[in-house]
Amino acid sequence: MILGLETSCDETGAALVTQDGEVHANVVASQADLHARYGGVVPEVASRRHLELAAPVLSATLEQGGATLDDVDAVAVTHGPGLIGALLVGLSAAKALAWSRQLPLHPVDHLHGHVASLYLQPEPLEPPFLCLLASGGHTLLLDVRTHAGYDIVGTTLDDAAGEAFDKGARLLGLGYPGGAALDRAASEGDPSAYDFPVARVPGFDFSFSGLKTALLYAVRDLPADELERRRGDLAASYQRAIVRALVERTRAAAEDLRAKRIAVVGGVAANSELRSALADAALAPLALCTDNAAMIASAARFTHAIPFPEYLALDAYASAA
Ligand code: KG4
Ligand code: ZN
């Protein structure tokens, strides 16, 4: 049994996953409400909240799995990329748990974790496949050939897709985090009402900053009551442009790499329009799209563990570079 911990951003997660990918427990405590009033995640506030939530989330996870720490054979934890203070809370907790019980520790890369959300039961996906990873912090096209890793074939040149959703939602007065709210607002609007640009940069990279500016200009000129009336149309047209950019690039890369299978993971994989536009792809289960620890424990099944007690000096990293 692998105990996974995830604290890279504003979700405190713990999970129990077996070596063959069965999820026995998966608990996520979101801090979204805490950060909503600031319109985004405040790193220091996130770190302190992780500290308060780590122990109760762990207890809830053991209870959900009908397990005790005696059942845990290894600990897995996200050690980057993410908010450095937030990561250090999870990493310290993981080291303490592993060390106190003389267990091995698996450091897991958060992005590998998102991909590994596809390797869990009941329908584990087998590589090779081309993976679109679209989250609040990243937009990547990954050539996945083994369970243990991937090659990056495309990335965003500016904002991440989730960031584009969040910034758009903010401009439309839909609160934070706005992806899901924008998705809902879009379902009541006309996606062809506005002609927002779909950036086509060379290769398999993405760009979303021009789109965000186009929405800003469209919103800026509208009186408040008019914005209220056109909110659905604006959301639907804006979402259509993001989804088009994601789908076009993903299909082009799949063709170029002769990938037989496409997969989609990350918070934006929860988007309803993206899910129907890529209905033929392997889509991460809804509960595993946004940050969680089951995907971290899943990734650990395919990485080497650091034996007790060699991990005590292990550090976290904020960005992959
Ligand atoms: O993977 P995730 O939980 O965190 C990161 O690793 O960044 O992704 C969070 C992102 C946020 O930007 C959120 O707005 C977006 O996923 N998101 C959505 C939807 N649900 C969450 N974006 C579009 N449509 C959704 N339904
Ligand atoms: Zn994530």
pLDDT of 109: 98
Pocket mutation for ligand 1, best pick of 28, 171, 290 (most atoms within 8 Å of C-beta): 290
- pLDDT over 90 (residue 310): yes
Does residue 21 come out as left (phi exceeding 0), alpha (psi in the -120 to 50 range) or beta? left
Specify the ligand 1 atom closest to the Cα of 110: 6
User: Is residue 42 helix, strand or coil?
Assistant: coil
Choice among 109-113, 217-221, 234-238 with the minimum mean pLDDT: 217-221
pLDDT band at 321 (very low <50, low <70, confident <90, very high): low
At position 91, the amino acid (one-letter code) is L
Residue 145 Cα to ligand 2 midpoint, Å, equals 21
pLDDT of 37: 87
User: Which residue has the least CA distance to atom 20 on ligand 1?
Assistant: 180
pLDDT of 320: 76
**Six-digit token pair at 49?**
């909240």
Specify the ligand 1 atom closest to the Cα of 177: 14
Pocket mutation for ligand 1, best pick of 41, 118, 135 (most atoms within 8 Å of C-beta): 135
Choice among 52-56, 243-247, 316-320 with the minimum mean pLDDT: 316-320
Q: How far apart are CA 165 and CA 169, in angstroms?
A: 6
Q: Does ligand 1 come within 6 angstroms of the Cβ of 288? A: no
With residue 146 as reference, give the H or E element that holds it.
strand 139-146
User: Which residue has the least CA distance to atom 24 on ligand 1?
Assistant: 271
Residue 295 Cα to ligand 2 midpoint, Å, equals 10
State the average pLDDT over residues 11-15.
98
Q: Does ligand 1 come within 6 angstroms of the Cβ of 273? A: no
Closest CA to 248 of 80, 132, 122, 142: 132
Q: Does ligand 1 come within 6 angstroms of the Cβ of 137? A: yes
Residues whose CB falls within 8 Å of the CB of residue 251, separated by 6 or more in sequence, listed in order:
262
State the average pLDDT over residues 200-213.
94
Does the global pTM surpass 0.95?
yes
Closest CA to 284 of 118, 164, 44: 118
pLDDT of 176: 84
Pocket mutation for ligand 1, best pick of 165, 265, 295 (most atoms within 8 Å of C-beta): 165
pLDDT of 90: 98
**Six-digit token pair at 137?**
């912090």
What is the number of the ligand closest to the CA of 6? 2
- pLDDT over 80 (residue 52): yes
Q: How far apart are CA 186 and CA 17, in angstroms?
A: 36
pLDDT tens for each residue of 124-170: 999 999 999 999 999 999 999 999 999 999 999 999 999 999 999 99
Residue 161 Cα to ligand 1 midpoint, Å, equals 8
